[in-house]
Amino acid sequence: MSDQIRQLEKDRDYWKRVAAYLASCHAATLSYDGSLKSTSKARRERFESIVEKARDMMDGKDWRAGGSYALATPENAIKHCDSALSQFSKEAK
């Protein structure tokens, strides 16, 4: 097996672990927030939708069938995370 193929497999496995971690985090948030009486219906439905999409993606289903998502590239997701973190940090001050 060539070094290039090994690297591609290593990269693929890394991104699978990233996806699994994030799906698990969203599922945990849904489980926690869903157990709170103070959680709004809209918030609960939003996390249900995220967890359903994550579950479908982890199962190999084509999540784009129902539309596309603007942050579906790692680069755009990083920008979105940075923006959200900076906004949160400003609110915390």
Q: What's the DSSP call for residue 60? A: T
Residue 91 has pLDDT above 70, yes or no: no
Residue 90 has pLDDT above 70, yes or no: no
Same-domain pairing of 54 and 9: yes
Same-domain pairing of 53 and 84: no
Question: In whole angstroms, what is the distance from residue 49 CA to residue 2 CA?
Answer: 40
- Is this prediction's pTM over 0.85? no
Same-domain pairing of 57 and 29: yes
Residue numbers of the domain that contains 92: 68-93
Mean pLDDT of 51-77: 73
Predicted pLDDT of residue 40: 92
